[in-house]
A and B are shown apart, each in its own frame.
Chain A
Amino acid sequence: MSKQEQHWEKTRGLLFITLAIWFVFSIGIFLFGAEMQESSIKPFGYPLTYWFTCQGSLAIFVILIFWFAGRQEKIDDEFGFTEREGDQ
Chain B
Amino acid sequence: MIKGKFIDNLPKIYGIYTGGFLVFIILMSIAEQAGMSKELIGIFFVSFTVLIYALIGWLSRTLQSDAYYVAGRQVPTVFNGMATAADWMSGASFVAMAGGIYFKGYGYMALLVGWTGGYVLVAALLAPYLRKFGCYTVPDFIGTRYGGNLARFCAVLVLTLASFTYVTAQINATGRIASVALDIPFNIAVYVGLASILMCSMLGGMRAVTWTQVAQYIVLIIAYLLPVFWISSNIGAGFFPHFMLADEVARIAELEGQFGFVKNSAADMATVPKGLAQITKAHSEVNATPWAFISLAICMMAGTASLPHVMMRYFTTPSVRTARRSVGWSLFFIFLLYSSAPMLATLSKISLMDPNLATGIIGKSIAEVQALDWYQNWNQAKLMFVSDFNGNGTLELNEFFMKGDAVVLATPEIAGLPYVISGLVAAGGMAAAMSTADGLVLAISNALSHDIYYKIINPKAETAKRLIVARILLVLIGFAGATIAALEINDILGSVIWAFDFAMSGLFFPLVLGVWWKRANAAGAVAGMLLGLGSGTAYLVWVKWYAGEGFLGITTNTFGLVGASVSLVAMIVVSLITEAPDSATQKMVDDVRVPSGKTILGKQ
Give A contacts to B, CB under 8 Å: 4, 7-8, 11, 15, 18-19, 22, 25-27, 30-34, 37, 42, 44-47, 49-50, 52-55, 57-59, 61-62, 64-66, 68-69, 72-73, 76, 80-84, 87-88
Contacts and interface: CB of A to CB of B under 8 A. Distances in A.
Nearest to A5: B590
A55 B249 CA distance: 14
Interface in B236-292: 242-247, 249-250, 284-286, 288, 290
Contacts of A22: 117, 120-121, 124
Ranked 5 nearest A-B pairs via Cβ: A45-B246, A53-B109, A26-B117, A65-B328, A54-B342
Contact of B594 (A4, A30, A47, A73): A4
Interface string B284-315: 11101010011001100100000000000000
Contact of A69 (B116, B328, B602): B328
Interface residues of B, number: 59
A8 B250 CA distance: 50
Given A54-B339, A81-B596, A88-B73, A46 B124 contact: no
Given A42-B246, A53-B109, A88-B599, 7 more contacts: A22-B121, A46-B284, A54-B343, A58-B116, A61-B120, A65-B119, A76-B321
Contacts of A11: 593
A64 to B, nearest CB: 6
Contacts of A61: 116-117, 119-120, 331, 335
Given A18-B124, A81-B595, A47 B284 contact: yes
21 contacts: A4-B590, A15-B124, A22-B120, A25-B117, A26-B297, A27-B294, A30-B290, A31-B294, A34-B286, A50-B284, A52-B113, A54-B112, A54-B339, A59-B335, A61-B117, A61-B335, A65-B331, A69-B324, A72-B128, A83-B320, A84-B596
Contacts of A30: 110, 113, 290, 293-294, 297
B597 interface: yes
Nearest to B341: A54
Contacts of B318: 88
B124 A33 contact: no
Given A15-B124, A54-B342, A66-B325, A44 B243 contact: yes
Contacts of A44: 242-244, 246
Given A45-B247, A87-B598, A82 B117 contact: no
A17 B412 CA distance: 44
Contacts of B120: 18-19, 22, 26, 61, 64-65, 68
A52 B294 CA distance: 14
Chain B, interface SS category: helix
Interface in B468-495: none
Given A31-B294, A81-B595, A82-B321, A54 B116 contact: no
Chain A, interface SS category: helix
A67 to B, nearest CB: 9
A68 B109 CA distance: 25
Nearest to B73: A88
Nearest to B343: A54
Interface string B114-138: 1011011101110010000010000
A57 B36 CA distance: 44
Nearest to A35: B286
B298 A27 contact: yes
A19 B318 CA distance: 26
Nearest to B243: A44
Interface of B: 73, 106, 109-110, 112-114, 116-117, 119-121, 123-125, 128, 134, 242-247, 249-250, 284-286, 288, 290, 293-294, 297-298, 301, 318-321, 324-325, 327-328, 331-332, 335, 338-339, 342-343, 590, 593-599, 602
A22 to B, nearest CB: 4
Contacts of A7: 593-594
Given A46-B246, A68-B123, A81 B594 contact: yes
Nearest to A46: B246
Contacts of A42: 246
Given A83-B319, A83-B320, A58 B335 contact: yes
Contacts of A83: 319-321, 595-596
A33 B331 contact: no
A19 B243 CA distance: 28
Given A18-B124, A68-B123, A33 B293 contact: yes
Contact of A62 (B113, B249, B286, B331): B331
Contacts of B119: 61, 65
Given A22-B121, A26-B113, A31 B290 contact: yes
Contact of A37 (B73, B286, B331, B595): B286
Contacts of B242: 44, 55
A68 B124 contact: yes
A52 B335 CA distance: 13
Contact of A65 (B250, B319, B327, B342): B327
B593 to A, nearest CB: 6
Contact of B112 (A49, A58, A81, A82): A58
B113 to A, nearest CB: 5
A88 B599 CA distance: 6
A50 B249 contact: yes
A25 B120 CA distance: 11
Contacts of A50: 106, 249, 284
B113 A65 contact: no
Given A65-B328, A65-B331, A33 B596 contact: no
Contacts of B298: 27
Nearest to A19: B124
A18 B121 CA distance: 9
Contact of B598 (A45, A62, A73, A88): A88
Contacts of B125: 15
A27 B324 contact: no
Given A34-B286, A45-B247, A54-B339, A87 B325 contact: no
Nearest to A54: B342
